[in-house]
Amino acid sequence: MKFIHTSDWHLGRQFHNVSLLDDQQAVLDQLIRYIESNPVDAVVVAGDIYDRSVPPTIAIELLNKVVKRICGELNTPMILISGNHDGAERLGFGSEQMKNAGLHIISNFEDMLTPVVIKTESAGQVAFYGMPYNDPEQVRFAYQEPVSTHDQAHKLLAEKITEQFQPEQRNVLVSHCFVDGAIESESERPLSIGGSDRVSHEHFLNFDYVALGHLHQPQKKGEEYIRYSGSLMKYSFGEQNQKKGFTLVEIDENGFVSAEHVDLTAPHEMRIIEGELEQVIEQGNTDPKNEDYLLVRLMDKHAILNPMEKLRAVYPNVLHLEKPGMLIGVEQEMAQAKLARSEIDMFRDFFSEAQDSQLSQEQDQAISDIIKQLSQQAL
């Protein structure tokens, strides 16, 4: 059996005041065309379907169209969970009534414990458990257990789900969370401040596949079968080199799970272009993708009149302009000095200001070692 794992659609998102809805629709059309030519047994969306808890009407209409096509016309069940951007109750209205039509919106703990079971000849019964996004406070309140971190919350919820396992079924978890050690992107909204949003992948080891949402870069974490599909499309310039699309998951008759990334391409990519104005304009004149959404970083060292206007004559969708080349004199030196300062330099500055003396050689070595350890852990 095969299913599509996708997440972080963020329908209705704006980027530098530009609506991305047409791009989102185009990418979803590609997804639908893929299903038309390569039928699958289910489509899983691991949260952040909308960008806001009260999405704009046009985003609702787009989701409605997609659901009509996939569930209604292609007869492919969809399993959706709410993410931290979604309004769970709002998204969940009528979910009871939609189930028989193959649309499963899981937005509360009650529904979490009843899996969507898909029966196939090749892989038997596959149970999909949706764990809607919840703050630790909500989990503590619902289960009256001493839960104060995301990690504790996910441990508890995963245990509750595991209790429901049926021996004859394979088990897929759908969850929206930040697995510890995974790679962030600019366009995600932190689940909580200060790193307490991290969840160990070890809570998920009992499942046959874990379809994760929240992080926008496709990646696996901990095990081959614990994966982020990544977002539907790029949502920041920092994601210019990320692959975007969905994960195609296959479970064979022996229960062996494989997963591969399938590309989807937005009509407008998000890219960063660096160079002097003249070069950038020349390049733009022959750039077949000149309508992409761009951040242009102008390296010219002299002032330029109306650079945005000149750039938009060839690249109409320049959304942001940076001019690092135009920092002059002291400003430039300071900026460069700042860029050049490493963690150890900054700590030395801090120490000498706070203590009115320099680090001893031993102290300096100890701090250097700690910084090295920390940065290795982050990789």
Among 101, 183, 367, 371, binds a second copy (CB under 8 A): 101
Among the residue ranges 15-23, 99-107, 219-227, 279-287, the one whose residues contact a second copy (CB under 8 A): 99-107
Residue with tokens 């997609």: 66
- 316 is an interface residue for a second copy by CB under 8 A: no
Pick the closer one to a second copy by CB: 60 or 299. Answer: 60
Write out the E strands in the chain: 2-6, 14-15, 18-19, 42-45, 78-81, 103-106, 116-120, 124-131, 169-176, 178-179, 198-199, 209-213, 219-221, 223-228, 245-251, 257-263, 270-275, 293-298, 318-322
- 32 is an interface residue for a second copy by CB under 8 A: no
Pick the closer one to a second copy by CB: 64 or 352. Answer: 64
Return the bridge partners of 7, or none.
231
- 96 is an interface residue for a second copy by CB under 8 A: yes
Calculate ∠ Cα 14-18-21, nearest 5°. 65
Rounded Cα–Cα distance for residues 233 and 246 (Å): 10
- 99 is an interface residue for a second copy by CB under 8 A: yes
Among 83, 92, 136, 284, binds a second copy (CB under 8 A): 92
- 42 is an interface residue for a second copy by CB under 8 A: no
- 286 is an interface residue for a second copy by CB under 8 A: no
Which of positions 49-68 make contact with a second copy (CB under 8 A)?
Answer: 54, 57, 60-61, 63-64, 67-68
Nearest Cα to Cα of residue 139 among 157, 161, 113: 157
- 148 is an interface residue for a second copy by CB under 8 A: no
Return the bridge partners of 221, or none.
223
**Residue 120: Cβ within 10 Å count:** 15
- 72 is an interface residue for a second copy by CB under 8 A: yes
Per rule CB under 8 A, count of chain residues that contact a second copy: 24
| 3-state SS assignment for residue 28 | helix
Pick the closer one to a second copy by CB: 61 or 180. Answer: 61
- Note the residues at the interface with a second copy (CB under 8 A): 54, 57, 60-61, 63-64, 67-68, 71-72, 87, 89-90, 92-94, 96-103
